[in-house]
Amino acid sequence: MNELLAEFAERAGRYLSGLQTRSVPPTAEALEALSRFTEPLPERGTDAREVLRLLDEIGSPATVATTGGRYFGFVTGAVLPAALAANLLAGVWDQNGAYRVMSPVAAHLEEVAMGWLLDVLGLPADAGAGFVGGATTANIACLAAARHALLRDAGWNVEEDGLFGAPRIRVVVGDEVHTSVLKALSLLGLGRSRIERVPVDGQGRMRADAMPELSGDTVVCIQAGNVNTGAFDPAEEVCAAARAAGAWVHVDGAFGLWAAASPRLAPLAAGFAAADSWAADAHKWLNVPYDSGIAFVRDAEHLRAAMSVGAAYLLAGDDREPCHYTPDMSRRARGIEIWAALRALGRAGTAELIERCCRHAARFAEGFRAAGHQVLNDVVLNQVLVSFGDDETTRRVVAGVQADGTCWFGGTVWQGRAAMRVSVSSWATTDEDVERSLAAVLRVAADG
């Protein structure tokens, strides 16, 4: 085992040190080499060091360098050194994060991390939280808690009696609702086509003046950080209207909720703490390893009622049991990495990480405009949308940049126009990375 771990450390170090010089997407040759993995299952086992060698020599070149400084596709964070080390140690521990008796250290660190997260994000200190796989699962958990609460108030026990014959639940969303929320609604039996959509403005923000009249049977889903523009829905107005009507407000805040961790950017998140539930990702802006989402619910009992399980052999203690707040039972101990990242960064470091990414995004926008290209959004956070002319030209530039390999950006369609989408989410991105990437994009665009 020690020899295997020593070889792993050597190979891992070589991979990380090579990120600055390799192409961000894998080369055609690396992708072609993946066919070497396709073989009949061996009759006899293979030495663990040989398995590691195959993974590294064939697999490493075929990865996308998302943990480097020049990946700007989707909202994908890198991995902080402390979080990576914690992930590796937790893997050695091989802890099941379901119950405290299964892993006292995992349960305790998760509870500490929960308190730190509520603090740094400006959420109610007594809110409940579940550590889940990502924002989609966090949305599921939060909306399950909303479903429980609204139907309980209507005299219906949805956990026992299901949805057959249950009172209705209205769902109100903005036209820019993220697909993960729609998936959550469909899995919870609330449907995608039954939702009421609210028009949005030119930045994708829900228009408060176009909100329907709310009622006590309503869930309103709002966004902290539009996935294309980074814009924030008008939380203060929406939450005030919902509170008056007895409605539930859920926040899809996968990456945008982290703005609350920065004193400079916190005004963008004003009013969101008045909601009833919040979904966030730690593998985005906190830069912990995949996968790591968090479901927050103002009233912890609503989350517990929607998620908890029981059996004669599952001996719960008097303290918080992690699996009572998540859809999973057996699961990896994700809270360990979140604790490590926050402990390493501290409050100031967390804010600086968020602000630095936003500064890089602003520099991209400045460079695009200076070269005569059109930035389509107000760059308020870490997202930039840029057009290089007509849709065909823009798509050609995106494809050219991806083929170039210096950096990686994705394409999107924003309010009817093709755009290149820039997401800056990595702690590893430097000023040099931004300038090098900007130069590559402008070179591809100029080459026609």
pLDDT string in tens for the chain (448-residue length): 999 999 999 999 999 999 999 999 999 999 999 999 999 999 999 999 999 999 999 999 999 999 999 999 999 999 999 999 999 999 999 999 999 999 999 999 999 999 999 999 999 999 999 999 999 999 999 999 999 999 999 999 999 999 999 999 999 999 999 999 999 999 999 999 999 999 999 999 999 999 999 999 999 999 999 999 999 999 999 999 999 999 999 999 999 999 999 999 999 999 999 999 999 999 999 999 999 999 999 999 999 999 998 887 887 788 999 999 999 999 999 999 999 999 999 999 999 999 999 999 999 999 999 999 999 999 999 999 999 999 999 999 999 999 999 999 999 999 999 999 999 999 999 999 999 999 999 999 999 7
Q: What is the predicted pLDDT for the residue at 312? A: 73
Q: What is the predicted pLDDT for the residue at 316? A: 78
Rounded to whole angstroms, the Cα distance separating 247 from 243 reads 6
Q: What is the predicted pLDDT for the residue at 317? A: 81
Q: What is the predicted pLDDT for the residue at 142? A: 98
Q: What is the predicted pLDDT for the residue at 26? A: 98
Contacts of 213 by beta carbon, 8 Å cutoff, 6+ apart: 245
Rounded to whole angstroms, the Cα distance separating 292 from 342 reads 14
DSSP 3-state helix, strand, coil percentages of the chain (rounded to 5)?
45, 15, 40
**Residues of 105-123 as b/e, b for ≥16 C-beta within 10 angstroms?**
ebbebbbebbebbbebbeb
Q: What is the predicted pLDDT for the residue at 423? A: 98
The neighbouring-strand residues paired with 84 are: none
Terminal-to-terminal C-alpha distance of the chain: 54
Q: Which of 380, 125, 122 is nearest to 272 (CA)?
A: 122
The CA distances from residue 414 to 166, 172, 207, 262, in Å, are 38, 22, 17, 28
List the structure tokens of 322.
């992690």
CB 403 within 8 A of CB 250: no
Q: pTM for the whole thing?
A: 0.97
Rounded to whole angstroms, the Cα distance separating 353 from 382 reads 11
Tokens 């409050």 locate to 347
Tokens 């126009």 locate to 417
Q: What is the predicted pLDDT for the residue at 77? A: 94
Count CB-CB contacts under 10 A for residue 291. 16
Q: Which of 218, 280, 207, 276 is nearest to 247 (CA)?
A: 218
Helix (H) or strand (E) holding 72: none
Q: What is the predicted pLDDT for the residue at 310? A: 81
Q: What is the predicted pLDDT for the residue at 256? A: 98
DSSP code for 193: T
Rounded to whole angstroms, the Cα distance separating 345 from 214 reads 41
